[in-house]
Amino acid sequence: MSPLTVRAVRAYLPDAGGGADYHDQPAGHWIDDHIASPMAKYAEYRASRQSFGLHLLGTVVVEVEASDGTVGFAPTTGGEPAAWIVENHLAKLVEGAPVTELERIWDRMFLSTLHYGRKGLALNAISGVDLALWDLAGKLRGEPVHALLGGAVRDELVFYATGPRPDVARDLGFIGGKVPLRHGPAEGEAGIARTVAALAQLRDAVGPEFWLMLDCWMSLDVRHAARLAHALDAVGLRWLEEPLLPDDYWGHAALRKRLPAGMLLSSGEHEATRYGFRLLLELGAVDILQPDVGWCGGLTELLKISALADAHGALVVPHGSSVYSYHFVATRHNSPFAEFLMMHPDGTEVVPMFRPLLLDEPVPRGGRLAVSELDRPGFGVRLDPSCELRRPYRRPSP
Ligand SMILES: C[C@H](O)[C@H](O)[C@@H](O)[C@@H](O)C(=O)O
Ligand SMILES: [Mg+2]
């Protein structure tokens, strides 16, 4: 019997916001409420990250159809430009390939886009195709992706929650709460004082044992980050996250040496491929790597990043990406917990992270998720038919 091949690759855009581009939310959502960013040095862009376009790309849904009609899919961030890359470039390299050749397909997608890729949008597009191929592989075998990855090393996943209410996260059973930094260097000492007061209040609310983390979303410089970290020493932060520009590997390494004892440094959600993460590891820049499986190159690349990190004794706790990272976390010894992004508008309820895109999207209950809840073929989720999709770069069927 001839091997199954990829018959078609398609890229769709949902008509609704949210989904994989979870920053694409209506006004008033906590995730766009005065959160520090590199653009906050410009006062007009300080109150909202949407004001400088953080939400503009939107979600892209990639489908890969096998020659027997089976379809795998995955969403990621990238919107219409990513759809163009998938339909007008990557599809040329993927259509006709045996569905089992994920490594060779990945290599061809990465090498053929080097002249405009390496990181960012092109790697988001490659990640979407790669994740859709893993979903297809599971569906063809009738196995959940975690089984294809060598099987679970734990029976349940435990989660920390990212959002504005770590007090609610604690009551919901999460192991920790990560809050966004709101005041960057442009707000000077007054900004530091406001952050210290807010975090001290949160520490009082959650008690001494509950993990508290601060996500700085690339907004600081080494000097300000070191000053802020020491001002927060009494709060007992578990880690300081992504304080500097992602390309400032050297700054991360210098800052890590200047943090208070016991405060870890995490980064990586805007990094891509084993090459970028190798630089973070070899410079001793981070304690915890946080690749996003929809942005770093997909699951095929995340496995390489994970093995490299493991050899360096670093943890890999993927940036919130719903089921697309849960199957991975379930199977990796150096991924002891996972992130859950609280996408409810005020962060007080657990709702599916990629809503309104998916059906059967599992969510933590009591801050935990049994691996058995992932035991459906592929990534175990379906597209919600009520979420309209359009295909802007439709090509004639092969
Ligand atoms: C909450 C943070 O500001 C980001 O919006 C979030 O997407 C990311 O940095 C995270 O770690 O979840
Ligand atoms: Mg982050």
pLDDT in tens, 36-59: 999 999 999 999 999 999 999 999
- Tokens 């004001």 found at: 51
Q: Provide the pLDDT confidence category of residue 379 given band limits of 50, 70 and 90.
A: very high
Domain ranges of the chain: 6-21+57-142+385-390, 148-376
Q: What is the DSSP string of 56-92?
A: SS-EEEEEEEETTS-EEEEEEE-HHHHHHHIIIIIHH
- What's the whole-number average pLDDT of the chain? 97
Q: Provide the pLDDT confidence category of residue 1 given band limits of 50, 70 and 90.
A: confident
In DSSP terms, which residues pair with 64 in a beta bridge?
A: 9, 72
Which has more pLDDT, 16 or 30? 30
Q: What is the 3-state secondary structure (H, E, C) of 321-374?
A: CCHHHHHHHCCCCCCCCEEEECCCCCCCCCCCCCCCCEECCCCCECCEEEHHHH
Active-site position among 55, 252, 270, 319 = 319
3-state class (DSSP) for residue 161: strand
- Tokens 């966004």 found at: 180
Question: 168 C-alpha vs ligand 2 centroid, how far in Å?
Answer: 19
Query: How many angstroms separate the first and last alpha carbons of the chain?
Result: 21
CB hemisphere CA count around 168 (13 angstroms): 13
Give the right CATH number for 148-376 from 3.30.70.1140, 1.10.275.10, 3.20.20.120, 3.40.190.10: 3.20.20.120
What is the predicted pLDDT for the residue at 398?
67
Question: 215 C-alpha vs ligand 1 centroid, how far in Å?
Answer: 7
Distance CA 214, CA 206 (A): 14
Per-residue pLDDT at 397 exceeds 80: no
**Burial class for 333, CB neighbours closer than 10 Å (0-12, 13-18, 19+):** exposed
Cα 267 to chain centroid distance, Å, stands at 11
Overall CATH class of domain 6-21+57-142+385-390: alpha beta
Please give the average per-residue pLDDT across 179-196, as a whole number.
Answer: 98
Structure tokens at 15: 């008509």
Please give the average per-residue pLDDT across 278-284, as a whole number.
Answer: 98
What angle separates helix 120-141 from helix 102-112, to the nearest 10 degrees? 170
Distance CA 278, CA 308 (A): 7
Please give the average per-residue pLDDT across 27-40, as a whole number.
Answer: 97
What is the predicted pLDDT for the residue at 357?
98
* Closest C-alpha residue for ligand 1 atom 9: 217
Measuring from each residue's beta carbon to the nearest atom of ligand 1, which residues come in under 6 Å?
Answer: 31, 35, 162, 180, 215, 217, 269, 319-320, 341
Which residue type sits at 128?
A: G
Question: What residues are designated binding site?
Answer: 23, 49, 215, 241, 269, 339
Distance CA 160, CA 165 (A): 12
- Active site includes 319? yes
Structure tokens at 358: 């998916």
Q: Provide the pLDDT confidence category of residue 215 given band limits of 50, 70 and 90.
A: very high
Question: 7 C-alpha vs ligand 2 centroid, how far in Å?
Answer: 37
Name the residues around ion ligand 2, CB cutoff 5 A.
215, 241, 269
Question: 125 C-alpha vs ligand 1 centroid, how far in Å?
Answer: 20
Distance CA 342, CA 373 (A): 19
User: In a mutational test of the pocket of ligand 1, which residue from 57, 162, 179, 353 has the highest number of ligand atoms less than 8 Å from its CB?
Assistant: 162
Q: Provide the pLDDT confidence category of residue 396 given band limits of 50, 70 and 90.
A: confident
Backbone angles phi and psi of 326, in degrees to 5: -65, -40
| Tens of pLDDT, residues 88-144 | 999 999 999 999 999 999 999 999 999 999 999 999 999 999 999 999 999 999 999
Question: What residues are designated binding site for Mg(2+)?
Answer: 215, 241, 269
Distance CA 263, CA 256 (A): 9
| Strand 338-341 versus strand 315-316 pairing type | unpaired
Task: Indicate which atom in ligand 1 lies nearest the CA of residue 341.
Answer: 12
pTM of the model as a whole = 0.98
Task: Indicate which atom in ligand 1 lies nearest the CA of residue 290.
Answer: 11
Element of type H or E holding 279: helix 273-282
Distance CA 164, CA 143 (A): 37
| Tens of pLDDT, residues 321-376 | 999 999 999 999 999 999 999 999 999 999 999 999 999 999 999 999 999 999 99
Please give the average per-residue pLDDT across 257-267, as a whole number.
Answer: 98
User: In a mutational test of the pocket of ligand 1, which residue from 286, 341, 344 has the highest number of ligand atoms less than 8 Å from its CB?
Assistant: 341
From the CA of 240, the nearest ligand is 2
Task: Indicate which atom in ligand 1 lies nearest the CA of residue 22.
Answer: 7
Q: Provide the pLDDT confidence category of residue 221 given band limits of 50, 70 and 90.
A: very high
From the CA of 320, the nearest ligand is 1
Residue of 352, 365, 360, 368 whose CA lies nearest to 384 = 360
